[in-house]
Amino acid sequence: MRILIAEPDEYYHHHYADFLGSLGELRFVKEADGVWGIMEQFQPDVFITELLLPEKGAYEILKKIRSDGKNSAMSVLVFTRVQNMEDIKA
């Protein structure tokens, strides 16, 4: 299984590797702008993303994934450390 993880804070990368590394190959990206290029090359089965990525954020990436025929069936998990629901809705 190929898993792409969009997480801006490198501190969490080793945690993901510890928990998910046995499931398959992991790739990490820290910024929204880098996601699409890696996704095209790596062709992940699963995409895990922090909701609030630097620059664009995950919203634009998620829209593109769902509108793109090649990635529309990919499993996606979105998380955030934001505690205020109003910030998430914005």
Question: Taking the alpha carbons of 52, 53, 55, 61 in that order, is the dihedral positive or negative?
Answer: negative
Q: What is the CATH number of the domain that holds 82?
A: 3.40.50.2300
pLDDT score of 39 more than 80 = yes
Look over the chain and give the mean of its residue pLDDT values, rounded to a whole number: 86
More confident site: 42 or 60: 42
Q: Which amino acid is at 83?
A: Q
Number of domains in the chain: 1
DSSP readout, 54-89?
A: STT-HHHHHHHHHHSTTTTTSEEEEE-----HHHHH
Residue 86: which pLDDT band, with cuts at 50, 70 and 90? low
Rg (CA), the chain: 13
Under DSSP, is residue 9 helix (H, G, I), strand (E, B) or coil?
coil
Boundaries of domain holding 80: 2-89
Q: Terminal CA-to-CA distance of the chain, rounded, Å?
A: 33
Per-residue pLDDT tens digits for 45-64 = 999 999 888 777 788 888 88
Residue with the bigger pLDDT between 71 and 39: it is 39
More confident of the two residues 58 and 1: 1
Per-residue pLDDT at 87 exceeds 60: no
